[in-house]
Structure 1
Amino acid sequence: MFMKKVMTGLFTAAAMVSFAAAAQAVDEKHTFNFDDVAWQETGLEGAEMAVLWGKKEDGSAVYAFRIQPGVGIPPHTHSNDYWGMAIQGNWAHIDEEGREVITAQNAFVRIKADDVHSDRCAGPEVCINVLDFNGTRDIAFPQ
């Protein structure tokens, strides 16, 4: 009986060590830092974007945008709704009438399809935003 308890204890301890090592390996493989994201130019100086996961082609992509302080994105629309949140910085949303709302890490936004809006990074630090579109992402700049 004593030997069975010892063996059970050793097996349990070995399993726990093995589980802890596996958990650490999983964390190392599945944790990402925004400094390591594959940022791409957007065509607007001071603004970059990246696909965090999903596919652009089928509309499943979730995007990150990195915008330098003071950089603004002119009035534009998207053909699909999106939900977005600021991961870092003060992200300013400006509606068609010019009303501006700063969103930081305590809020998130919903922009409906075809709503004219603009964005800017209100600083003082770089803005990193994550956007999830209900479909494919596009952008159009009204004349």
Structure 2
Amino acid sequence: MLMLSPFKSLLAAAGLIAFTALAQAGGSHGDGHIFKFEDVAWEHARVEGVEMAILWGNEADETAVSAFRIQPGASIPPHTHTNDYWGLAVQGTWVHIDADGQEMRTGQDAYGRIKGGDLHADRCAGPEVCINILDFDGARDIAFPE
């Protein structure tokens, strides 16, 4: 069996976005092989200026791979997740902020791994809308400390 590193798996998964986006959006472009994020069925997330969509898989069996669309200047306040996740910015400049307030800008030349339980925040530096693909090692959740 061929085993891929998490990064190569994310890249391979990113290549499948086109197929899944079409399946959920019901539209297509060109010859049916190229699809646009504008056709994805985005839903409002719990934070103003942030939307999400399940690109493929499903949440019931914890196989869902999600995309988040963050408007320029919008931010997700400090939060945690139960499970680790891998993240890849496919558009814009995603800024990851660790528990100490250190900011790390992530473009299309890098990816990140966030461990479950690690307090962090995220924002879109703009001027372009940020689109990030996240693959959780288990169920996707979010908790905002009080």
Asked if Structure 1 and Structure 2 have the same fold, meaning a TM-score greater than 0.5 normalized by the shorter chain, the answer is: yes
Gaps of 5+ in 2: 1-29
Give 1:43 shift: 2.4
Structure 1 residue aligned with 2:102, among 95, 99, 102?
99
Note the alpha carbon deviations across 1:100-136, whole angstroms, 9 max, x for none: 0000000000000000000000111000000000011
Q: Based on CA coordinates, which of the two structures has the bigger radius of gyration?
A: 1
Tell me the distance in 1 between the aligned counterparts of 2:35 and 2:96: 27
Aligned to 2:55: 52
RMSD of aligned alpha carbons: 1.2
Distance 1:43 1:82 in 2: 19
Q: 2-side partners of 1:31 and 1:79: how far apart? A: 34
Query: Equivalent residue for 1:20?
Result: none
Corresponding residue of 1:132: 135
Percent identity reads 63
Secondary structure of the equivalent of 2:58? coil
1:112 aligns with 2:119: no
Aligned residue identity for 1:128: I
Equivalence map 1:66-85=2 (5 Å): 66-85=69-88
Greater helix fraction, Structure 1 or Structure 2: 1
Distance 1:36 1:89, change over 3 A: same
Shift of 1:45: 1.4
Q: Distance in 2 between matches of 1:28 and 1:51?
A: 23
Q: Residue type matched to 1:36 in 2?
A: D
Q: Which runs of 4+ in 1 moved over 2 A?
A: 27-32
SS at match of 1:35: helix
| TM-score, length basis structure 1 | 0.79
